[in-house]
């Protein structure tokens, strides 16, 4: 791949938007998941929707953090690390606080109604109890912003130690590896990390989940190698080309590993559990490679056409959850076919959140700052104003 092609990262911006938007159907699928009992859960379950949601979950956030690592390194190479980190704290921190304080209480109310089964004193009491206690419900779908803040502080601190792109060449190993050998070695590393984090979570009894789930250090550890891989790919464009080439044939193996992991996950016994977690790690890595290849091949040429969607994706993600929760409550009383309800809720939530972005957030600087972290631009002084 030539330098010109790899320096264009519009396909990654579009890819990141697609991954963010996939959060909408993923969260809707949890309403009908037969094995994951989300607080907003329908009596009408669907095995296909459960598999669909699990498949998205195997690669979505992994690839998102990989792209985030790529962008972090890309941007740090173009501005002072202190300025970049200051901008990142605003870009991530302001929407985190605004959404948690302004939107999540409405979402928490819907969850309380869903858990208790109806509007009642019990649902009101549960809602008020959660409002008065800092925990996971206050953060909910915003956890990834906290993880990105942790990663941003980390890479900002060690940035002076990271070599320049021109100073990074092929990876030096004590032995020679071909492309397949490097793929096998890298995949083994990601499988090992998945097993290590699962073991750590088990040994600490989820002790890395702090403040009643509001701070998930286990998530920060879990997704760390993907963020690091994104940083490495940005520094080493030869490895970026190799990673893309891996993606040419990775999808079938990633899907096969996903299916095997899903089947084993439902079996009992420590051996099958370990094998399932290992296959999860393998599947996630291979699916990320396949996705990267698809993005670079099909979005590189017309990624600029998705700028409007990319700009709205963050807002859609922030606003979709309260909409999904309340629509889930509504459709739970309809008792229609799960797949039809899934499609309807996904469409309504996406369109409604997009309309909020277009008609409310984007045109108003104050709302754009609160929910996108975009500081209002200073207007140049008017000539003669001081006279």
Q: What is the pLDDT of residues 21-73, one digit of tens each?
A: 999 999 999 999 998 778 788 888 999 999 999 999 999 999 999 999 999 99
Q: Which residue has the tokens 């996971």?
A: 136
Q: Domain for residue 387, yes or no?
A: no
Distance CA 286, CA 272 (A): 21
In terms of residue numbers, what domain contains 203?
Answer: 3-163+176-372
Rounded CA separation 41/18 (Å): 25
How many independent structural domains does the chain possess? 1
* pLDDT value, residue 300: 66
Computed over every residue of the chain, the mean pLDDT equals: 87
Question: What is the Cα–Cα distance from 384 to 142, expressed in whole angstroms?
Answer: 46
Residue 105 lies in a domain: yes
CA distance linking residue 373 with residue 95, whole number of Å: 6
Flag whether 379 is in a domain. no
pLDDT of 157 > 50? The answer is yes
Which of 151, 138, 135 lies closest to 64, judged by CA? 151
List of residues 6+ apart from 266 with CB closer than 8 A: 35
Question: Is residue 381 in some structural domain?
Answer: no
Report the distance separating Cα 214 and Cα 184, nearest Å: 36
- Contact criterion met (CB below 8 Å) for 236 and 171: yes
Selection from 288, 282, 278, 248 nearest residue 62 by Cα: 288
Q: What is the pLDDT of residues 263-297, one digit of tens each?
A: 998 777 788 889 999 999 999 999 999 998 998 88
**Rounded distance between C-alpha atoms, residue 197 and residue 247, angstroms:** 25
How many whole angstroms separate alpha carbon 286 and alpha carbon 13?
21
- pLDDT value, residue 189: 95
Is the dihedral angle over the CA atoms 223, 229, 232, 237 positive or is it negative? negative
pLDDT digits (tens, 9 = 90+) for 220-277: 999 999 999 999 999 888 888 888 888 989 999 999 999 999 999 877 778 888 999 9
Does residue 293 sit within a domain? yes
> Is 385 inside a domain boundary?
no
Residue 119, Ramachandran bin (φ over 0: left; ψ between -120 and 50: alpha; else beta): beta
Q: Given a cut of 50, is residue 7 above it in pLDDT?
A: no
Element (H, E) at 209: strand 209-210
> Reduced to 3 states, what is the DSSP secondary structure of residue 187?
helix
Asked whether residue 380 is assigned to any structural domain, the reply reads no
pLDDT at 301: 62
Report yes or no on 145 lying in a domain. Answer: yes
Closest CA to 183 of 288, 101, 98, 68: 288
Among 275, 282, 279, CA closest to 189: 282
């Amino acid at each position: 791949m030539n330098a010109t092609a790899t320096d264009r990262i519009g396909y990654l911006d579009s890819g990141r938007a697609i991954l963010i938007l996939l959060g909408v159907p993923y969260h809707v699928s949890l309403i009908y998941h037969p094995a994951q009992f989300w607080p907003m859960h329908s009596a009408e379950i669907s095995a296909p929707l459960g598999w669909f949601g699990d498949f998205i979950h195997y690669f979505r956030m992994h690839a998102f953090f990989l792209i985030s690592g790529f962008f972090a390194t890309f941007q740090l190479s173009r501005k002072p690390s202190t300025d970049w980190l200051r901008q990142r704290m605003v870009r991530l921190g302001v929407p985190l606080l605004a959404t948690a304080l302004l939107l999540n209480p409405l979402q928490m109310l819907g969850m309380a109604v869903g858990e208790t089964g109806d509007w009642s004193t019990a649902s009101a009491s549960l809602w008020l109890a959660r409002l008065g206690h800092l925990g996971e419900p206050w953060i909910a779908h915003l956890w990834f912003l906290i993880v990105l803040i942790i990663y941003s502080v980390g890479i900002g601190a060690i940035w002076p130690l990271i070599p320049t792109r021109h100073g990074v060449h092929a990876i030096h190993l004590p032995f020679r590896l071909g492309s397949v050998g490097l793929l096998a070695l890298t995949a083994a590393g990601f499988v090992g990390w998945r097993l290590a984090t699962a073991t750590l979570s088990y040994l600490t009894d989820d002790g890395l989940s702090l403040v009643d789930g509001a701070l998930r250090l286990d998530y920060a550890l879990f997704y760390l190698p993907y963020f690091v891989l994104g940083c490495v790919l940005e520094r080493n464009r030869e490895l970026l080309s190799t990673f893309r080439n891996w993606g040419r044939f990775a999808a079938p193996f990633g899907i096969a590993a996903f299916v095997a992991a899903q089947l084993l996950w439902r079996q009992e016994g420590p051996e099958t559990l370990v094998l399932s977690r290992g296959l999860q790690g393998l599947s996630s890595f291979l699916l990320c490679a396949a996705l990267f290849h698809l993005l670079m091949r099909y979005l590189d040429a017309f990624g600029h056409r998705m700028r409007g969607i990319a700009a709205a994706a963050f807002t859609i993600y922030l606003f979709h959850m309260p909409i999904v929760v309340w629509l889930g409550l509504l459709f739970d009383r309809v008792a229609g076919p799960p797949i039809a309800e899934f499609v309807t809720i996904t469409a309504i939530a996406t369109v409604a959140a997009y309309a909020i972005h277009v008609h409310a957030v984007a045109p108003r600087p104050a709302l754009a700052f609160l929910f996108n972290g975009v500081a209002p631009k200073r207007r140049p002084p008017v000539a003669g104003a001081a006279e």
